[in-house]
């Protein structure tokens, strides 16, 4: 039963493709409960497929009604070590890439929009066994992150481009009206001349000429305004236009703490553990540009979430285990608002998340022999109905995972595969209203553990 217990816990981080916020690779604190001394190395590869459909008029402005696949494939590497210092006291060391994002819009009106968030984290923990059934643990984690973003000219200048386009349409309509009046005056002048009223004909002819000149001037104005609007809204100038914005947040390292407690009953493979990971605030030194010109350097503060996790497992029959977790993260704290961007947009943020997230997981493990066990799990994150972030345009998810573990002597190899179906939504209903639906991802993971 112990081998099966370990395998079930491992899957929780082996194939991590998390829709909540910018979670990428969760720390596997379950290693603290491995018997004896134990070291583990895990690798996961994730292939997301996320795209959206533009709504009018943006479905025609960029030459494509689709954003194209804006999500890039990614992989993560993580490791953990548990070492018994005494029969009651154990040391835990962990490394991973806890947060990440990699968005790049290849086509349509958002073409050129890209964002990247990279991180790496290290955690040191101590676990103390208060009684045979109760243990407490805690420690410090250190996380380094950096980020880059490019907002194309046509997206940031959309309101200006649309305003110029509207003014071009108005000028064109006025030009047509003046041209119609000029034709009418010309016809009246011709009729007056035919009737022999030369003075009237001359007066009407002068009116016709003046109206025609006004029509020509208005038409020229319409063409000029239309050209300006096209230049702003054309994705071909996404990275070189007058409204192109870039930002680079330099590497910043911050620390936070982790505490938890667990209750165990080994004879039935029961374990219930509660873990709290405190939030923290990155303070990035930020360089920004707008239209190719440097903006004043600034510091951008971005709050990362508090996380509360309840993990549980229990044997329910001979060689059969049920396991799961409930994880709540305060992602509503996460907002990206560099000073320069806020100044040029009247106080807007680059991106942010409106609601917290809660993720539910439930699985079953089965031991087939002394060396082989398998497991299946379902993960569900309910949608919240908020406007989507273009950095991660999904709203909730449902995923299905399956995997197995092979144990031989001191070695253990675990593999898993997971299919994730993302929830749908719109990114900015008041403006672009791009629809993201029918998106998914596939993740595979492999872990190798050694007991010593």
Q: Report pLDDT digits (tens) over 345-357.
A: 999 999 999 999 9
| Mean pLDDT of the residues in the chain | 89
Question: What is the average per-residue pLDDT within 150-168?
Answer: 71
With beta carbons less than 8 A apart as the criterion, state whether 149 and 115 touch. yes
For residue 53, pLDDT over 60 is answered with yes
Which residues contact residue 289 at a Cβ distance below 8 angstroms, ignoring those fewer than 6 apart?
244, 245, 246, 247, 295
Q: How far apart are CA 326 and CA 328, in angstroms?
A: 7
Number of helical H runs and strand E runs in the chain:
6, 23
Residue 171: its pLDDT value, please?
A: 65
With beta carbons less than 8 A apart as the criterion, state whether 2 and 30 touch. no
| Proportion of the chain above pLDDT 70, given as a percent | 90
For residue 340, pLDDT over 80 is answered with yes
Residue 6: its pLDDT value, please?
A: 44
**Range in 26-30, 88-92, 364-368, 385-389 with the lowest mean pLDDT:** 385-389
pLDDT in tens, 253-296: 999 999 999 999 999 999 999 999 999 999 999 999 998 999 99
Question: What is the average per-residue pLDDT within 328-338?
Answer: 97
Task: Output the CATH code of domain 2-152+244-451.
Answer: 2.40.160.60
Question: What is the average per-residue pLDDT within 408-414?
Answer: 96
**Range in 103-117, 179-193, 210-224, 358-372 with the lowest mean pLDDT:** 210-224
Strands (E) across 152-235 are located at: none
| Vertex 332: Cα angle to 259 and 442 (nearest 5) | 80
pLDDT in tens, 73-115: 999 999 999 999 999 999 999 999 999 999 999 999 999 999 9
Helix axes 158-194, 198-233, angle to 10 degrees: 160
Residue 278: its pLDDT value, please?
A: 98
Nearest Cα to Cα of residue 447 among 143, 31, 2: 31
| Vertex 151: Cα angle to 241 and 59 (nearest 5) | 85
| Domain layout of the chain by residue ranges | 2-152+244-451, 160-235
Q: How far apart are CA 95 and CA 91, in angstroms?
A: 14
């Amino acid at each position: 039963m112990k081998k099966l217990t370990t395998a079930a816990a491992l899957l929780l981080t082996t194939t991590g493709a998390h829709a909540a916020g910018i979670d990428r690779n969760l720390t596997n604190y379950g290693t603290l409960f491995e018997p004896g001394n134990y070291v583990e190395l895990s690798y996961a590869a994730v292939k997301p497929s996320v795209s959206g459909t533009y709504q009018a008029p943006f479905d025609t402005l960029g030459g494509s009604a689709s954003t194209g696949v804006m999500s890039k494939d990614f992989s993560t590497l993580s490791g953990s070590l548990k070492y018994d210092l005494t029969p009651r006291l154990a040391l835990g060391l962990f490394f991973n890439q806890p947060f990440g994002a990699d968005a790049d819009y290849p086509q349509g009106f958002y073409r050129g929009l890209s964002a990247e968030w990279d991180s790496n984290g290290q955690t040191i923990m101590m676990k103390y066994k208060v009684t045979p059934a109760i243990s407490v643990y805690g420690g410090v984690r250190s996380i380094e992150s950096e980020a880059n973003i490019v907002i194309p000219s046509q997206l940031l200048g959309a309101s200006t481009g649309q305003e110029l386009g509207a003014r071009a349409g108005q000028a064109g309509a006025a030009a047509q009206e003046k041209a119609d009046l000029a034709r009418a005056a010309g016809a009246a002048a011709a009729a007056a001349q035919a009737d022999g009223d030369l003075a009237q004909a001359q007066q009407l002819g002068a009116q016709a000429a003046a109206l025609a000149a006004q029509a020509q001037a208005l038409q020229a104005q319409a063409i000029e305004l239309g050209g300006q609007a096209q230049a702003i809204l054309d994705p071909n100038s996404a990275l070189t236009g007058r409204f192109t914005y870039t930002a680079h947040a330099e590497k910043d390292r911050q620390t936070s703490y982790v505490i938890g407690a667990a209750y165990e009953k080994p004879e039935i493979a029961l374990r219930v553990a509660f873990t709290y990971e405190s939030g923290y605030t990155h303070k990035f030194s930020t360089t920004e540009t707008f239209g190719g010109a440097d903006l004043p350097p600034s510091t951008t503060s971005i709050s990362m979430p508090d996380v509360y996790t309840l993990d549980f497992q229990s044997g329910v029959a001979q060689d059969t285990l049920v396991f799961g977790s409930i994880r709540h993260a305060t992602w509503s704290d996460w907002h990206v608002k560099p000073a320069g961007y806020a100044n040029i947009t009247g106080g807007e943020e680059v991106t942010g998340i409106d609601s917290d997230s809660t993720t539910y997981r439930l699985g079953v493990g089965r031991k087939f022999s002394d060396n082989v066990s398998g497991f299946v799990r379902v993960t569900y994150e309910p949608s919240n109905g908020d406007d989507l972030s273009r950095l991660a345009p999904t709203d909730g998810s449902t995923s299905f995972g399956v995997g197995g573990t092979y144990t031989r002597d001191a070695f253990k190899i675990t593999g898993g595969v997971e299919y994730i179906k993302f929830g749908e939504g719109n990114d900015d209903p008041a403006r672009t209203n791009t629809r993201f639906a029918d998106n998914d991802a596939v993740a595979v993971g492999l872990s190798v553990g050694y007991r010593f």
